[in-house]
A = this chain, B = another copy of it.
Amino acid sequence: MNNLFKALSHPVRRRIIAMLRQGPMGSGEIAAAFDMSWPTITGHLNALKDSELVSTEKHGQSVRYRLEISAVEEAMAFLMDLTGTGSRTPEDDK
């Protein structure tokens, strides 16, 4: 939960997940879209993986990154709870 919002807190990582909305992409393909070194992007991808916002899948020598909607929904649930009037547990605050 904490890693989730931390992952979302960087503009580059948000842009990456926005890109992945259209479907899985390779690491290099993602890196090419940014004005930063490939290793830096790998670092951001690792952060996204730690947060479970993305998952990976090897396809030969390339690695495809896929957006994990379930994690996005988890973040949304937290925010929804803030706007709604429903009941909540202390669990939500972690």
A8 touches B8 (CB 8 A): yes
Chain B residues within an 8 Å CB radius of A32: none
Q: Is the interface of A mostly helix, strand, loop or mixed?
A: helix
Other-chain contact of A83, B76, B79, B81, B83 (Cβ < 8 Å): B76
Identity of the chain B residue whose Cβ is nearest the Cβ of A73 in the assembled complex: B83
CB <8 Å contact, B82 and A79: no
Flag if B88 contacts A18 (CB, 8 Å). yes
**Given A5-B5, A76-B76, A88-B18: A11 and B94 interface contact (C-beta under 8 Å):** yes
Rounded to whole angstroms, the CA-CA distance of A9 and B14 in the bound complex is: 13
Q: Are B93 and A14 in contact, CB atoms less than 8 angstroms apart?
A: yes
Residue ranges of A at the interface with B (Cβ–Cβ < 8 Å)? 2, 5-6, 8-9, 11, 14-15, 17-18, 21, 67, 69, 72-73, 75-76, 78-83, 88, 92-94
